[in-house]
Amino acid sequence: MRGADIRAQMDVIGADGVHVGTVDKVEGGRIKLTRRDSGEGRHSGHHHFIDLGLVAEVEGVRVRLSANAAVAVTMEEEEGGKGVF
């Protein structure tokens, strides 16, 4: 998947159609999600990232991932590349 096809404010959805986040931008081979989609507790207030390898396709204004939303959020990364969970 080419990151050039992904634009700011696109919805990121799992293979099951469930909202995962909103694109802030593509950075370093990963989708940077907006802060408002960063979760709760110690994971709130900063950006999370999804590797472009999880992108199945870009459908208009949506980025569809190859994993269901519940699985995809467990694969989110912090800025430094470490997993969130």
Q: Say how many domains are in the chain.
A: 1
- pLDDT reported for residue 54: 96
pLDDT, mean of residues 17-44: 80
Examine residue 31 and state whether it is found in any structural domain, yes or no: yes
Range of the domain at 25: 3-56
Please indicate whether residue 69 or residue 80 has the higher confidence score (pLDDT).
Answer: 69
Residue 78 lies in a domain: no
Q: Write down the mean pLDDT value for the chain.
A: 85
The predicted structure's pLDDT at residue 78: 83
Whether 63 is in a domain gets the answer: no
Note the pTM of the prediction, 2 decimals.
0.83
Assigned domain for 67 exists = no
Both tokens assigned to 12: 């990121």
What is the Cα gyration radius of the chain? 11
What pLDDT is attached to residue 84? 46
The percentage of residues in the chain with a pLDDT greater than 70, rounded to a whole number, is 79
